[in-house]
């Protein structure tokens, strides 16, 4: 009997050429499919909710796959993770930590698909805003040394919440889509010491949308743009009017929503989303 599985996955994107399987290069999908195929005993193809770019991280990517498999659901994660973990240099299993791992596996109804069933996503963008750069964090945040005014950034962010045509925040040259209208349920900018954490929840995101929004908000934070300019930028539908594309290293796919209740609750409690994930 055909079974359908949903994986929740985290990865450090710094060692990958992005999510999507490609010949000759190391990708998250490629590594996962190789390990899964070994564990399941036959070739497995997975469908990820988000095809994250090279260097982008995930705390809660999701992916589904189906087929006829005998293995009990609860054994999959451990078996795959053992294959994904590096050799490490410690004793026994100590110190073996890979750069991608499965957090959970659920068995889903046949019609479920990680991409097409997704109702929304939450991304986090981490900015290091210290006068000194930190070489050890260069793959994990966008380091802006000049002080950023996070209140101005938050003010600008509020103009973007709601249903808008976000064409101006789409990378130029993107594959044309049916529509560039998307809904942002919440977009918050918070300072945590010398870090600025941007959290954005929406029903879907155009190519590079979070990174261009972040780059634009950084320019507001630096005083190069006023928060009120966001309305004009949105209305222009012109990529040239928005700010620069923030680098991939600061971007984390934090959460995927499949359930309408979860989306509603994320919408209502948008401001508290970040508290749910104390981990990072």
Location of structure tokens 């499919």? 33
Under rule CB under 8 A, residue 12 binds its own copies: yes
User: How far is 8 from 142, CA to CA, in rounded Å?
Assistant: 25
Instruction: Measure CA 132 to chain center.
Output: 27
Written as six digits, the tokens of 49 are: 């909710």
Under rule CB under 8 A, residue 134 binds its own copies: yes
Size of the site for its own copies (CB under 8 A): 39
Closest to 29 measured CA to CA, from 40, 41, 45: 45
Under rule CB under 8 A, residue 215 binds its own copies: yes
Query: Contact with its own copies (CB under 8 A): which of 5, 65, 140, 166?
Result: 140
Catalytic, out of 53, 238, 272, 275: 53
Under rule CB under 8 A, residue 194 binds its own copies: no
Indicate if 53 belongs to the active site: yes
Query: Contact with its own copies (CB under 8 A): which of 41, 43, 90, 162?
Result: 90
Question: Could you tell me the smallest distance in angstroms from the CB atom of residue 61 to its own copies?
Answer: 12
Q: Which residues bind its own copies (CB under 8 A)?
A: 10-12, 57, 86, 88-91, 94-95, 97-101, 133-138, 140, 142-146, 215, 218-219, 243-249, 280
Catalytic residue list: 53
């Amino acid at each position: 009997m055909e079974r359908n599985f949903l994986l929740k996955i985290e990865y450090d994107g710094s060692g990958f050429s992005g999510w999507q399987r490609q010949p000759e290069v190391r990708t998250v999908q490629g590594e996962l499919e190789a390990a899964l195929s070994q564990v399941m005993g036959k070739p497995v193809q997975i469908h990820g909710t988000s095809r994250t770019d090279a260097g982008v991280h995930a705390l809660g990517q999701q992916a589904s796959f189906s087929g006829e498999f005998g293995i009990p659901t609860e054994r999959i994660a451990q078996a795959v993770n053992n294959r994904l973990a590096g050799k490490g240099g410690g004793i026994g299993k100590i110190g073996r930590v890979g750069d991608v791992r499965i957090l959970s596996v659920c068995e889903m109804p046949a019609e479920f698909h990680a991409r097409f069933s997704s109702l929304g996503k939450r991304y986090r963008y981490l900015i290091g805003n210290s006068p000194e750069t930190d070489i050890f964090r260069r793959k994990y945040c966008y380091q802006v040394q000049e002080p950023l005014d996070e209140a101005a950034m938050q003010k600008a962010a509020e103009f973007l919440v709601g249903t808008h045509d976000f064409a101006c925040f789409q990378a130029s040259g993107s594959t044309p889509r049916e529509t560039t209208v998307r809904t942002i349920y919440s977009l918050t900018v918070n300072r945590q010491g010398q870090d600025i954490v941007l959290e954005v929840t929406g029903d879907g995101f155009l190519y590079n949308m979070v990174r261009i929004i972040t780059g634009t908000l950084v320019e507001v934070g630096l005083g190069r743009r006023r928060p009120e300019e966001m309305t004009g930028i949105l209305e222009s539908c012109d990529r040239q009017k928005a700010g620069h594309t923030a680098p991939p290293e600061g971007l984390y796919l934090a959460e995927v929503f499949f359930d309408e209740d979860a989306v509603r609750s994320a919408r209502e409690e948008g401001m508290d989303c970040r508290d749910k994930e104390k981990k990072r």
